[in-house]
């Protein structure tokens, strides 16, 4: 509304001046009428914008605490999830120690506090779920906090900070479900931390962002690479990186590594994946 009104006023005055003070039939060499400034007008167009900006600032400072600060909630109606940005995937840590990648599961209608971080050996990322709030930077060595409260549904998340070659593919999903379903998910995920299903999620979200089985992609094809069948070699490259490949799992838990190794041993490299 403010910008629309200002645009109309400014452009209308501009057009009026163009018509009113046009050269018309006056010779090009003839000097136009000398118009001296109006103190009243100058004071008005100085005070006017100050008043407008003051109103905007007042509204912002009045509303900002309600946006930045999470509403009060009982312990049973809130939870905290750590969002960790890595090259090039999102990892989510839940209160009971459960971990997921690519998809955050959160309780509906409750205050969800988010601790936004990036691994110490990683780069800057930016967590952004457009439907749930603004962008929040994930910076190595620093924890930023935000929150949301949402109804049941799926919401697209993305990295809003250029973080490397696969930045554009660094997306995720926030899946908001009823409280009972959320608790069932984190309990099951904790109990099955070393399962092949978890390993497949890790492979799909982490390894497959740069590799395919039978064709070269950002990185070399993995299908016929003995690395997939050697737990020792796989752990070394995951935790330490090599060449252009970052240490994508430098601080993964042993359970996470076990799950990924269990899944990679099922890959035969017979089709592109």
Judged on CB neighbours under 10 Å (0-12, 13-18, 19+), 191 is exposed
Predicted confidence (pLDDT) at residue 64 exceeds the cutoff of 80: no
3-state secondary structure 37-85: CCHHHHHHHHHHHHHHHHHHHHHHHHHHHHHHCCCCCCHHHEEEEEEEE
Give the global pTM.
0.74
Predicted confidence (pLDDT) at residue 268 exceeds the cutoff of 70: no
pLDDT tens, residue by residue, 118-170? 988 889 999 999 999 889 999 999 999 999 999 999 999 999 999 988 899 89
Q: Are 41 and 9 in contact (CB under 8 A)?
A: no
């Amino acid at each position: 509304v403010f910008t629309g009104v200002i645009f109309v006023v400014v452009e209308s005055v501009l057009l009026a001046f163009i018509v009113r003070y046009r050269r018309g039939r006056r010779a090009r060499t003839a000097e136009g009428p000398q118009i001296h400034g109006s103190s009243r007008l100058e004071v008005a167009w100085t005070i006017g914008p100050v008043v407008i900006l003051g109103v905007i600032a007042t509204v912002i400072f009045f509303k900002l605490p309600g946006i930045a600060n999470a509403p009060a909630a009982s312990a049973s109606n809130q939870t905290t999830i750590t969002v960790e940005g890595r090259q090039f995937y999102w990892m989510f840590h839940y209160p009971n120690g459960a971990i997921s990648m690519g998809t955050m599961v959160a309780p509906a209608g409750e205050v969800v506090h988010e601790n936004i971080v990036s691994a110490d050996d990683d780069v800057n990322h930016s967590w952004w779920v457009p439907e749930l709030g603004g962008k929040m930077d994930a910076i190595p060595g620093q924890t930023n906090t935000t929150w949301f409260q949402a109804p049941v549904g799926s919401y697209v998340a993305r990295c809003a900070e250029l973080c490397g070659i696969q930045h554009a593919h660094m997306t995720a999903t926030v899946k908001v479900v009823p409280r009972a379903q959320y608790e069932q998910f984190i309990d099951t995920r904790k109990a099955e931390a070393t399962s092949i299903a978890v390993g497949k999620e890790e492979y799909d979200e982490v390894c497959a962002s740069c590799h395919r089985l039978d064709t070269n992609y950002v990185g070399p094809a993995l299908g016929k690479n003995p690395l997939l069948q050697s737990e020792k070699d796989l752990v070394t490259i995951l935790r330490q990186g090599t060449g252009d490949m970052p240490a994508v799992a430098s601080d993964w838990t042993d359970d996470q590594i076990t799950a990924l190794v269990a899944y990679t041993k099922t890959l035969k490299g017979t089709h592109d994946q």
